């Protein structure tokens, strides 16, 4: 088998995301939309607030009427507006969120006033500007305006905003169907009954947990034996999946059969090998079928390699299919809390522990070391041939959802 030169990470990610688009749209209730991505721009069906409101507890008075005293002629409470009009020399007691009475232009705070019976006098300062304590009509949004952009991740505040904008249901993309397949004769499905020549099949559970951080329908299959027939049968059993993720068997060894099994199954290889460490022997293939294409991501078997490539490829693909505006993970800048060694010829993702201010590389960087991966909460992004980094140097990191405080 001829060697294929590894391609840069960004090129590989772009090629992967070009293979699939957002899945068909469905409408779900607001509660069910949280954690999913908005499939279309959301336009307000109403204006918020629908009229001028008081932003504080106090008294509403007419324009430029700050001399006083005023006669209190009524009250406007939240949900119970005053039906009349306020005139010069009059005041309406208002509560926070109450509809501003007709004719009112200012709200004077109740702590700046003294009241005796139905008369109030100014003891503090008049509001400057005069409308300081008023929430004007349309302050938040107006009917017909875009309140949430397409592709936005819907969180609790977005759900509240959608309801305030007059919506009961939101358009989202259908959940991708994902099958994770472990392969390898050395894998034991029972971690409590693992012979010396075996290792527990942990990658599948890890990848399944990663996928389920997103709103997907994911299942796990395997371990699958290192034979062509067993792998092809596993692919057949996953014919319903939009995405198939394999772990192991993607390299060039005698028992690395994922690539030939995919070709025999009818999938076409898009790319193989990416210039990153860990995780170089990743492959991506596509298979056409009547119900739509299937994307196959073949991840390396070493657990850290499998995790890192799933982070940079599986999760972005799923976000893309879910309609995310930003599918790729984002980096943040921080500073080293300890020196870091010079890098080799491939871009490397070094496991590290970040305390919110500084990041320290983990002492153990072997691609099979799950203890270091679980203890880490960031991947330090080291460019190819980066020189040694000193304590205090700026670096870029990707946040993880395991270990530490991330």
Q: What are the pLDDT digits (tens) for 76-118?
A: 999 999 999 999 999 999 999 999 999 999 999 999 999 999 9
Report the DSSP pairing between strands 199-200 and 276-277. Answer: unpaired
Token pair recorded at residue 162:
């959608």
pLDDT average, residue stretch 337-359 = 96
pLDDT average, residue stretch 313-337 = 97
Question: Using CA atoms, how far apart are residues 3 and 46, in angstroms rounded to an integer?
Answer: 60
Cα 260 → chain centroid: 35
Quote the pLDDT of residue 284. Answer: 97
Q: Is the pLDDT of residue 363 over 90?
A: yes
pLDDT tens digits, 151-209: 999 999 999 999 999 999 999 999 999 999 999 888 888 888 888 888 888 999 999 99
**CATH code linked to domain 53-135:** 2.170.190.11
* Domain ranges, ordered by start, for the chain: 9-24+174-321, 28-46+144-173, 53-135, 331-399
> Alpha-carbon dihedral of residues 28, 30, 32, 34, nearest 10 degrees?
120
Q: Give the Cα-Cα-Cα angle 7, 334, 352 (nearest 5 degrees).
A: 65
3-class secondary structure, 267: coil
- Band of residue 307 on the pLDDT scale cut at 50, 70, 90: very high
Question: Using CA atoms, how far apart are residues 169 and 83, in angstroms rounded to an integer?
Answer: 34
CATH of 9-24+174-321, one of 3.40.50.150, 3.40.980.10, 3.20.20.210, 3.10.290.10: 3.40.980.10
Question: Using CA atoms, how far apart are residues 104 and 62, in angstroms rounded to an integer?
Answer: 4
The CATH class of 331-399 is mainly beta
Q: Give the Cα-Cα-Cα angle 278, 329, 15 (nearest 5 degrees).
A: 75
- Band of residue 64 on the pLDDT scale cut at 50, 70, 90: confident
49 upstream amide cis, omega within 30 of 0: yes
pLDDT average, residue stretch 11-28 = 97
Quote the pLDDT of residue 3. Answer: 66
Mean pLDDT of the chain: 94
Question: Using CA atoms, how far apart are residues 156 and 334, in angstroms rounded to an integer?
Answer: 28
Q: Is the pLDDT of residue 1 over 80?
A: no
- Domain 28-46+144-173: homologous superfamily in CATH: Molybdopterin biosynthesis moea protein, domain 2 (3.90.105.10)
Orientation of helix 228-237 relative to helix 258-265, angle to 10°: 60
Quote the pLDDT of residue 406. Answer: 35
pLDDT tens digits, 37-62: 999 999 999 999 999 999 999 999 99
3-class secondary structure, 384: coil
pTM: 0.91
- Band of residue 2 on the pLDDT scale cut at 50, 70, 90: low
Cα 123 → chain centroid: 51
């Amino acid at each position: 088998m001829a060697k294929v030169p590894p391609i840069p990470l960004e090129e590989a990610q772009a090629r992967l995301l070009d293979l699939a688009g957002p899945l068909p749209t469905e409408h779900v209730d607001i509660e069910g939309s949280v954690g999913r991505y908005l499939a279309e721009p959301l336009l307000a069906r109403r204006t918020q607030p629908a009229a001028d409101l008081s932003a504080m507890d106090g008294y509403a008075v007419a324009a430029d009427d700050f001399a006083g005293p005023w006669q209190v002629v009524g009250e406007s409470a939240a949900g119970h507006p005053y039906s009349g009009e306020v005139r010069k020399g009059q005041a309406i007691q208002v509560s926070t969120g109450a509809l501003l009475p007709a004719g009112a232009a200012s709200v004077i705070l109740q702590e700046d006033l003294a009241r005796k019976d139905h008369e109030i006098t100014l003891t503090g300062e008049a509001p400057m500007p005069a409308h300081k304590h008023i929430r004007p009509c349309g302050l938040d949004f107006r009917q017909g305006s875009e309140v949430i952009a397409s592709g936005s991740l819907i969180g609790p505040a977005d759900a509240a905003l959608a309801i305030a904008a007059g919506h009961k249901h939101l358009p989202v993309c259908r959940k991708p169907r994902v099958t994770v397949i472990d392969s390898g004769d050395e894998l034991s499905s029972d971690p409590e009954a693992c012979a010396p020549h075996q290792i527990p099949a942990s990658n599948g559970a890890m990848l399944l947990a990663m996928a389920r951080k997103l709103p997907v329908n994911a299942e796990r299959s395997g371990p699958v034996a290192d034979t062509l027939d067993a792998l092809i049968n596993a692919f057949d059993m996953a014919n319903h999946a939009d995405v198939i993720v394999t772990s192991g068997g993607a390299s060039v060894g005698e028992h690395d059969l994922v690539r030939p099994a995919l070709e025999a199954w009818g999938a076409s290889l898009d790319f193989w090998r990416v210039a990153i460490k860990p995780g170089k022997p990743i492959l991506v293939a596509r298979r056409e079928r009547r119900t739509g294409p299937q994307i196959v991501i073949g991840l390396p078997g070493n657990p850290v390699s499998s995790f890192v490539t799933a982070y940079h490829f599986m999760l972005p693909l799923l976000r893309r299919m879910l309609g995310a505006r930003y599918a790729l993970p984002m980096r943040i800048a921080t500073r080293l809390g300890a020196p870091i060694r010079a890098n080799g010829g491939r871009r490397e993702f070094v496991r590290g522990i970040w305390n919110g201010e500084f990041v320290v590389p983990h002492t153990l960087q072997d691609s099979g070391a799950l203890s270091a991966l679980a203890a880490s909460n960031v991947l330090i992004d080291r460019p190819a041939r980066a020189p040694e980094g000193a304590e205090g140097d700026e670096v870029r990191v990707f946040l993880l959802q395991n270990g530490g405080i991330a």
